[in-house]
Chain A
Amino acid sequence: DGGITQSPKYLFRKEGQNVTLSCEQNLNHDAMYWYRQDPGQGLRLIYYSQIVNDFQKGDIAEGYSVSREKKESFPLTVTSAQKNPTAFYLCASTGTDHTGELFFGEGSRLTVL
């Protein structure tokens, strides 16, 4: 079945460590997104990519990095520069018809110890 797969679902990190969250989709979607969600807040856009080898910063890109070497894959690295990384991270994708309906992965919950 087509869908988006995020891994890991839960991740613990020590301060000062970089971690990479995986996101893979087999929906043949061009656009992919990374969001961060904190309690009581809406989804905030970290990075997005509309085509392979191209990506754009969202509203809260500082302390994060991404790559888009393949259409199917859009990994997110949370670097040690991100001062408050504990959050729920959601990857999503959409087609190019601009109706905007997003298909989400199950999410990755990152906790910094």
Chain B
Amino acid sequence: QMQLVESGGGVVQPGRSLRLSCAASGFTFSTYGMHWVRQAPGKGLEWLAVIWYDGSNKYHADSVKGRFTISRDNSRNTLYLQMNSLRAEDTAVYYCAREPKAALINWYFDLWGRGSLVTVSS
């Protein structure tokens, strides 16, 4: 059964850092591009970052560029999101999501995790 499971969320003070993880199982993780998407309370979905299947390319949304970094460890079947200099407006549920086709970036998502809640508050 294909699955993505996020972890690492919690309550963090403004200005601090947090790293989210996304564990993949049931498919060949190393052949799929991966994304992070978030949803702030009462808001819609916001795309954050993409990483190619082999880690060769990565892009971040302007809203998080320079503060957040996407990465992956294909030997551990795990995707990461390093979040630095966190702000109150980063409070959201963070989802990892998979590209629909191996070795391609189509920019939509056919498999999602259940999300991990990050709350930035003093």
Do A and B associate with each other? no
Q: Which residues from chain B sit less than 8 Å from chain A, CB to CB?
A: none
Q: Which residues from chain A sit less than 8 Å from chain B, CB to CB?
A: none
